[in-house]
């Protein structure tokens, strides 16, 4: 067991409240992600909010438990995959005869294509930011544990 888990083992109220709070944080991240083109928010903000849910999980339940929930290989693939998704939108736009990241060619009409492009781009950004932030939190927690 890690030192962080031992410290939170006796904190029953904190552990129970966090089990209810973490899904709400994740749901809010999804709301920010998919309503970002209509109002404040988008991929970066949603990614940070999603990462904060996993960081709260790590603080309450320990690094080892959170690594079981979000394994390092999966986080690495998501981190690269989100960036590739972002770039793939640009490549697909070029294949459809537009410029790189010219969203207008992605749909039957230019406005529809722009909406599709923005949603997919923001999804790629959100995935990359969330996974990278959690990876960084894991690295910092591991360094603290080594002391």
In three state form, how does the secondary structure of 66-119 look?
A: HHHHCCHHHHHHHHHHHHHHHHHHHHHHHHCCCCCCCHHHHCCCHHHHHHHHHH
Q: What confidence tier does 4 reach under pLDDT thresholds 50, 70, 90?
A: very low
Residues 128/79, Cβ–Cβ less than 8 Å: yes
Can you give the pLDDT at residue 40? 66
Which letter does DSSP use for residue 39 in this model? S
Distance, CA of 61 to CA of 53 (rounded, Å)? 12
State the Cα–Cα distance between residues 80 and 118, nearest whole angstrom. 19
Looking at the 3D structure of the chain, how many domains does it have? Answer: 1
pLDDT band at 11 (very low <50, low <70, confident <90, very high): confident
Exposed/middle/buried for residue 72 (C-beta within 10 Å: 0-12, 13-18, 19+): exposed
Q: Indicate whether 1 pLDDT > 60.
A: no
DSSP label at 1? Answer: -
* pLDDT score of 112 more than 50: yes
Task: Give the chain's mean pLDDT.
Answer: 90
> For residue 115, what pLDDT band results from cuts at 50, 70 and 90?
confident
pLDDT at 2 over 60: no
Q: In which band, very low, low, confident or very high, does the pLDDT at 143 lie, cut at 50, 70 and 90?
A: confident
Quick one: pLDDT band at residue 128, thresholds 50, 70, 90?
Answer: very high
Tell me how many helices (H) and strands (E) the chain has.
6, 0
Query: What mean pLDDT comes out for the span 29-53?
Result: 87
- Model-level pTM? 0.86
Token output for 74: 């999966």
Check residues 60 and 7 and name the one with the higher pLDDT.
60
Range of the domain at 96: 3-146
């Amino acid at each position: 067991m890690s030192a962080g888990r031992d410290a939170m083992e006796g904190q029953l109220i904190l552990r129970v409240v966090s089990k209810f709070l973490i899904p709400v944080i994740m749901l809010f991240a999804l709301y920010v992600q998919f309503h970002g083109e209509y109002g404040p928010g988008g991929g970066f903000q949603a990614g940070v909010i999603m990462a904060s849910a996993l960081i709260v999980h790590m603080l309450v339940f320990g690094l080892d438990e959170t690594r079981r929930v979000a394994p390092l290989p999966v986080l690495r693939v998501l981190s690269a995959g989100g960036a590739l998704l972002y770039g793939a939108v640009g490549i697909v736009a070029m294949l459809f005869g537009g410029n790189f990241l010219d969203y207008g060619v992605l749909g039957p009409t230019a406005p529809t294509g722009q909406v599709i492009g923005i949603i997919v781009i923001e999804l790629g950004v959100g995935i990359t930011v969330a996974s990278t932030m959690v990876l960084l939190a894991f690295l910092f927690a591991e360094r603290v544990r080594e002391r």
